[in-house]
Chain A
Amino acid sequence: MEFIVISLLNGITYGLLLFMLSSGLTLIFSMMGILNFAHASFYMLGAYFAYQISSWVGFWPGLLVAPLLVGAVGALIERYGLRRAHRFGHVAELLFTFGLAFVVEEVVHLIWGKVAVDYRIPAELDGTLFTLFDTSFPIYKGFMMLVSVGMLVALYALLTRTRIGLIIQAALTKPDMVEALGHNVPRIFMLVFGGGTALAGLAGVIGGNAFVTEPGMAAAVGSIVFVIVVVGGLGSLGGAFVASLLIGCIQTFSVALSISITDVFALIGIALPEGSQVARLTITQMAPVLPYLLMVAILIFRPRGLMGARES
């Protein structure tokens, strides 16, 4: 019981962080149709910017300024890079973002070096929020959850309840009509891209000190965010939320299960031959593969994802 509750809590926390990471990606994809391979690089930039700012003026200004800076960088990249690449079609766009990821990594190497930087959790968030069955739950994790849920609510409200949200939505389906009504559609796209990357930046500010801020951090999360977007349904914010929680829990619980494939097959009455390497693999060892397995299964059986709006 104790173990299940703790694991569930861990799963939800991890899932919410994944949501922070993938919400921007899903936003950009659903609004602009761009699959941004460099998304995790903006996550890394957020962490490094926050580290730099916090070393000058503290964590809290960094929490606010770093995502804005990342968003500004994102907007500039959209304006002067992506928009040009867009003219040559989707492949050019994909390749552009793909290359961008490497450029960002090298820039980070040049500026901050190849070793991890000392980006720490602020003292006021360093401590125990509550203790459950004598396992402590850190304040910082609670803070992470709060920001993530806040992000979902704010995004949802912005897109469906405000004027600018309505224009954004309209610009997606009927760009010509919106343009004819006097709105600057390219600028709206620039704002969306900047906003999406700012969200990744915010995730970086918060994830960077919870884990480790180092040049490999983008590559480490780069693939899992795509799993979430695909499983959740390309372009669905709600889907990304559900998928994040699902994958967070799958990973957490699969680590907990020390049963092997042989045991699983024994449950359904099939005895596997003894001694084979594969049969001895435990679920724990397979934990990292499971999200990708889920993605493949989703693509085969439900290509539009759990809550996706369209088939692509």
Chain B
Amino acid sequence: MKSPFFHRLALAAGVMLIGGSAFAQVKIAYIDPLSGPFANVGEAGLKGFKEAAEILVNQKGGIMGQKLEFVGFDNKGSPQESQIQLKAAIDQGFRFITQGNGSGAAHSLIDAVNKWNARNPDKTVLFFNYAAVDPTLTNEKCSFWHFRFDANTEMKMEAISNYMEKDKTIKKVFIIGQDYAHGHQVAKYTKEMLAKKRKDIKIVGEDLHPIGRVKDFAPYIAKIKASGADTVMTGNWGNDLSLLIKAAKDAGLKARFFTYYAGGLGTPQAMGAAGENQVLQLTEWHMNVPAKDTEKFALDFNKKYPGIWFYYMRVNNMVQMVAQAMNTAKSTDPKAVALALEDMRFKVDTGEVWMRKSDHQAMQPLYISIFSKADGKSVKHDSEGTGYGWKTVASISQRDSQLPTSCIMERP
């Protein structure tokens, strides 16, 4: 039986066997909008996760020899649909999920995951949240089965209000936001914190508009102008932010905009020159933060996916921390992974990310930056091919970003 044919057959079978075990995968369900008005945001996120898993985990040995894979589940941005997709993912054998766009969907998922885990202690599910920033998710509603890798609204507002406290040119602030949980919370914390830190600042107006519905922001800008505001605070994202800033430019509004999300997903492109020295953002990273590895990752990513610009450093952090937790625990059981992830201190090239045990909220360095002309020096890279990029005006250390939590966690 020495025929070359059988040799080859045996070899092929062997390869398939080995290949088969190496391809056994750790799969994470990505439950976010992949159709509808926020499809662009969801699509960019999924690409980021897949790329991060490939480059940062799979090419470096994977998880105990297995590959990490992200699979998209379209929740259309809706809380109800999120639960249906969660069910579908569980039925397909997923034990890990991630979500980020919209705190409404995050609330719905956290409830569903808690309920599922209580009823199925042998088939638990773990939820990694990379962008839903409602503070209650790590306070009143905190859960052992939920980890957040983005700073929450309270932490972000604390950093922004500290910056505003020192800037004496700020006298009148106008708050504008999308009419849902996130917009309401930005407004609430802005008022609370400014009232404490700068009693002389007047809140001259507060407006909530329907999310994703307003085409022409000119009337809102007219109102902001009439209020005499010199500063606008907004948690808007996507087109709601781009159009707002465009309208401000058209009307010649000279106010400064403090934002969460001006840095990515098409907004810089929509702002263009209109945003110069007018728009600030608070993020965990931007292209001009000195961070070699992430910078290289971002440049490669932008080249590989033309039209989508790398934006979420926290996605990279999350993917690596989850992989490390699984490797340390030597298990892909959600409970073991959660226990290994708690209290993890992970070195990234902007500093350290610490996953606080008491509420499962990640603590990381944050940066406030302003949109300025790219000059090759302090603004080395422009954003989305606009000729303008982000210049750091304040850095917040991981320690300074920490705030107390009211979380009383139920542990299994």
User: With a CB–CB cut-off of 8 A, which chain B residues contact A3?
Assistant: 222, 226
For A275-308 the 0/1 string (1 means CB < 8 A from B) is 0000000001101100000000000000000000
User: How many B residues touch A, CB cutoff 8 Å?
Assistant: 40
Asked if residues B222 and A115 are in contact (CB atoms below 8 Å), the reply is no
**In the complex, B375 has a CB within 8 A of chain A:** no
**In the complex, B166 has a CB within 8 A of chain A:** no
Closest B residue to A141 by CB, please name it.
B250
**In the complex, A211 has a CB within 8 A of chain B:** yes
**In the complex, A310 has a CB within 8 A of chain B:** no
User: For window 17-51 of chain B, which residues contact chain A by CB distance below 8 Å?
Assistant: 36-40, 43-44
User: How many A residues touch B, CB cutoff 8 Å?
Assistant: 42
**In the complex, B2 has a CB within 8 A of chain A:** no
- Give the contact stretch, choosing among B7-15, B59-67, B68-76, B213-221: B213-221
Q: A116-B270, A216-B36 are in contact. Are A285 and B208 (CB under 8 A)?
A: yes
User: With a CB–CB cut-off of 8 A, which chain A residues contact B215?
Assistant: 14, 211, 220-221
Least Cβ–Cβ distance between A207 and chain B, in angstroms: 8
Closest B residue to A219 by CB, please name it.
B37
**In the complex, A184 has a CB within 8 A of chain B:** no
**In the complex, A135 has a CB within 8 A of chain B:** yes
User: With a CB–CB cut-off of 8 A, which chain A residues contact B179?
Assistant: 285
Q: A7-B222, A215-B39, A256-B223 are in contact. Are A136 and B252 (CB under 8 A)?
A: yes
User: For window 250-280 of chain B, which residues contact chain A by CB distance below 8 Å?
Assistant: 250-252, 265-266, 269-270, 272
**In the complex, A261 has a CB within 8 A of chain B:** no
Q: A216-B36, A221-B215 are in contact. Are A116 and B269 (CB under 8 A)?
A: yes
Asked if residues A115 and B40 are in contact (CB atoms below 8 Å), the reply is yes
Asked if residues B218 and A14 are in contact (CB atoms below 8 Å), the reply is yes
Q: A39 CA to B239 CA in the complex, in Å? A: 22
User: With a CB–CB cut-off of 8 A, which chain B residues contact A6?
Assistant: 222, 225
Closest B residue to A136 by CB, please name it.
B252
Q: A285 CA to B208 CA in the complex, in Å? A: 6
User: With a CB–CB cut-off of 8 A, which chain A residues contact B252?
Assistant: 128, 131, 134-136
Q: A136 CA to B247 CA in the complex, in Å? A: 11
Q: A41 CA to B250 CA in the complex, in Å? A: 27
User: With a CB–CB cut-off of 8 A, which chain B residues contact A114?
Assistant: 39-40, 43
Least Cβ–Cβ distance between B234 and chain A, in angstroms: 15
Asked if residues B40 and A215 are in contact (CB atoms below 8 Å), the reply is yes
Q: A138 CA to B216 CA in the complex, in Å? A: 14
Asked if residues B218 and A13 are in contact (CB atoms below 8 Å), the reply is yes
Asked if residues A288 and B385 are in contact (CB atoms below 8 Å), the reply is no
Least Cβ–Cβ distance between A275 and chain B, in angstroms: 17
For A245-276 the 0/1 string (1 means CB < 8 A from B) is 00000011101101000000000000000000
Q: A131 CA to B208 CA in the complex, in Å? A: 28
**In the complex, B104 has a CB within 8 A of chain A:** no
User: With a CB–CB cut-off of 8 A, which chain B residues contact A214?
Assistant: 40, 239, 266
User: With a CB–CB cut-off of 8 A, which chain A residues contact B43?
Assistant: 114-115
**In the complex, B376 has a CB within 8 A of chain A:** no
Asked if residues A10 and B218 are in contact (CB atoms below 8 Å), the reply is yes
**In the complex, A118 has a CB within 8 A of chain B:** yes
Least Cβ–Cβ distance between A92 and chain B, in angstroms: 26
Q: A255 CA to B36 CA in the complex, in Å? A: 26
Asked if residues B250 and A115 are in contact (CB atoms below 8 Å), the reply is no
Least Cβ–Cβ distance between B79 and chain A, in angstroms: 19
Asked if residues A220 and B212 are in contact (CB atoms below 8 Å), the reply is yes
Asked if residues A120 and B266 are in contact (CB atoms below 8 Å), the reply is no
For B202-240 the 0/1 string (1 means CB < 8 A from A) is 000101111011111011101101100000000000010
**In the complex, B307 has a CB within 8 A of chain A:** yes
Least Cβ–Cβ distance between B243 and chain A, in angstroms: 6
User: With a CB–CB cut-off of 8 A, which chain A residues contact B353?
Assistant: none
Given contacts A138-B250, A216-B36, A251-B219, 5 further A-B contacts (CB under 8 A): A113-B307, A135-B222, A136-B250, A255-B209, A287-B209
16 contacts between A and B (CB under 8 A): A3-B226, A10-B216, A109-B39, A113-B307, A114-B40, A114-B43, A115-B40, A115-B308, A116-B242, A116-B266, A212-B270, A215-B39, A220-B213, A251-B216, A252-B222, A253-B219
